[in-house]
Amino acid sequence: MTSVAKRKIIYLFLFFIFAIGIELTNFALLNFGLFPKYAMMNIAFILYLGAGLLLVPTPELQFLGSSIILLLQIVIAVVNINLITITGEIFFWDMLALAKDGVQAIEGTSILDLSTLWIYGGIFILFQIIHFLIFRFRNKEVVKNKRNRLHSWVVASVLSLVLFITGFVLNNAIYQDLSTQIEGSTEDEILLSEAFLYETMFQPETTIKTFGTYPFYMKGLSYYLGIDTSSDASREIIDEYLAEGVYETNQFTGVSAGNNVIMVLLESFEYFGIDEALTPNLYKLFYVDGIPLTNFHAKVKTDVAEASSFFGSYPSTGSLFRNYQQNVYPTSLPNMLSDYSNVSILKSFHNNKGSFYNRNHAHPHFGFDEHIDSSQMELSDTGFWINSDYEMVFDQAENMIPDTGDSFFTFITTFTMHGGYELRSVFETTYAYFDSIGYMPLDNYHDRYLRTYMASAMDLDSAVGVLFERLEATNQLENTTLIFFADHTAYYYAFSELMRGIDPNDNTYSDQYRLPAVIYDTKLKTAMALQGIDSIDKFTSVNDFTPTILNLFGIEFNPLWYVGNDVFSPHESVIVSRQSGIFNHLFYTTDGKTVLYQDPNATIEDITKFQQAVSYTMRKQQHLNLIYRINYFKANDADD
């Protein structure tokens, strides 16, 4: 065997050892356990890469390829360690389009943890040192003739084929085992199976824990790159599925017909931001005048929460703000209101630049007339990347609540309460006020964060006050439906867990995702009072808002268009988080079956209802993924 062939084999062996070593390190640092449940699936995909590396012409280029793959593995590992700490997420390829936005989101914070670079950097340097020693003391034999070069190529090719076949056999054996496990299963059982998880990769954290990093990112990349794939067979599946949908009415159908609609996404808003003295408008809204959704839960990023609130769903892969640009969305809330009600003015507002999450292009595509961003507002320089909600609403009140006699749909995404919660110079006056009343005087991290958080809440409170003042001044308060909801917890620095006394490493406690949401609608409140109801206590999520508004407006819709449910319908909602977890307020699972958290008061009947709701939701999610993927409604339009 020539020295070239030997070195290629040695480099290949090094790649395997270090790829597996980095994977084990990653699992340990992420608290994922020792290794994936189906570790051999992970090995199979590493073998695929090894087979490809062997076909690289020279040992040095092969080593360079190995180094690039391992470096990418390390970068993803460090990103995941930070993401899961900050937002509870795992990196997926569609996040690359949001990288610039993510960098801005950590401006002015000390939230990044790069300490693991010492560990991963040491591993990578060791890899390079071993290569250097091999290279320095390698056999000086030089391949001079065609026969030797041919021999090296044949050895590498044969070994590459062996590796690929071995990987294929491992992969196929595990997949066949997964397939065998679901033989004779119902559709509901299949949707909760590991075989379905492998096919869809719909929950990144669970997928990695089950199959490993390499299958998730290699298979996920191929799926991501083929996101626009379509087929006639898929369309037939959706036709049959949607034909099952039956429009349902209830005692509150049409109660709010003819109203305006205002939806306000409250950035990082938590119950501890509601204070009778410091935030009186929010207190009055949530605890006096509004209809609270006492069991509203959320575990999504802002962009997902925002789109889900007016789509009633969100695809398991890709970003609605960056991908699916060719899709048409006749079932989105702005389009449904525009087409089937008297709403004729549809605008969205956010006091950040419109390029953030691509809102200035995405929102008009979703059905809004326009998206109004910070460049169109008179805002003070805060000395920070986060702008004032009060200034936004004060500046745009007439635009948000037009007094033209035309009905409107206004969507507002707030900003002030976004983390981090380091001291901000813009709140110096508020901090001085806190000092004067003795509010959180101690200078520790908890109190410093809380002071900034509450100063932000007070700014938001003033914005809410301006909204209601404008509605009253234009005599539109009685004919406007308002929904306020939080997008996610105040996760920066694990601040939410700190405030609630929750272990930051325990993501299975369902109640940590319970967040404020409220409906202000005088017509609905009167109708509910006649039924002896003053709150909505069933489990709800952001996906429920679109079908709920359509029901209140008496607009007919197919309930299978949405993952969420009208909150007044008999259907129970659950959250299938894109981050991780399938849960409601009583149970937390990663697969819909294995209960990781159970409320002490939950009953056998509750678990049965939960599993039924999971099956119903998973089936809707599966078909809606296909609707997004094949641009189903555009295909239908083409036939008309």
Instruction: Centre a 10 Å sphere on the Cβ of residue 284 and count the other Cβ atoms it contains.
Output: 17
**CATH number attached to the domain at 241-639:** 3.40.720.10
Domain ranges of the chain: 3-225, 241-639
Supply the pTM of this predicted model. Answer: 0.87
Residue 202: its pLDDT value, please?
Answer: 74
Residues near 441 by beta carbon (within 8 Å), at least 6 away in sequence = 434, 435, 447
Residues near 239 by beta carbon (within 8 Å), at least 6 away in sequence = none
- What tokens does 154 get? 């044949």
Answer for the pair 328, 639: CB distance below 8 angstroms, yes or no: no
> Residues 579-630: pLDDT tens digits?
788 999 999 998 888 899 999 999 999 999 999 999 999 999 989 988 998 8
Residue type, 412: I
**Average pLDDT of adjacent 10-residue blocks, the chain of 640 residues:** 76 93 93 90 94 89 93 93 78 75 66 83 91 69 53 81 92 89 77 80 84 90 57 77 95 97 98 96 98 96 95 89 90 98 97 93 97 96 91 98 96 95 92 90 78 97 98 97 97 88 86 97 97 96 98 97 97 89 93 89 94 92 90 68
Residue 587: its pLDDT value, please?
Answer: 96
State the Cα–Cα distance between residues 500 and 594, nearest whole angstrom: 26
Residue 180: its pLDDT value, please?
Answer: 86
State the Cα–Cα distance between residues 487 and 308, nearest whole angstrom: 10
Q: Indicate the pairing of strand 575-576 with strand 582-583.
A: antiparallel
Answer for the pair 516, 443: CB distance below 8 angstroms, yes or no: no
Q: Indicate the pairing of strand 595-598 with strand 587-589.
A: antiparallel
Q: What are phi and psi of 536, to 5 degrees?
A: -110, 110
Residue 393: its pLDDT value, please?
Answer: 98
Residue 142: its pLDDT value, please?
Answer: 47
Residue type, 506: D
Residue type, 17: I
Residue type, 425: S
Burial 432-462 (b: 16+ CB within 10 A, else e): eebeeeebbeeeeeeebbbbbbbbbbbbbbb
Q: Exposed, middle or buried by CB within 10 Å (0-12, 13-18, 19+), for 158?
A: exposed
Alpha helices in 30-58 (DSSP H): 39-54
User: Dihedral angle at the C-alpha atoms of 510, 515, 520, 521, nearest 10 degrees?
Assistant: -20
Q: How far is CA 89 from the centre of its chain?
A: 7
Find tokens 């071993």 and name the residue.
Answer: 130
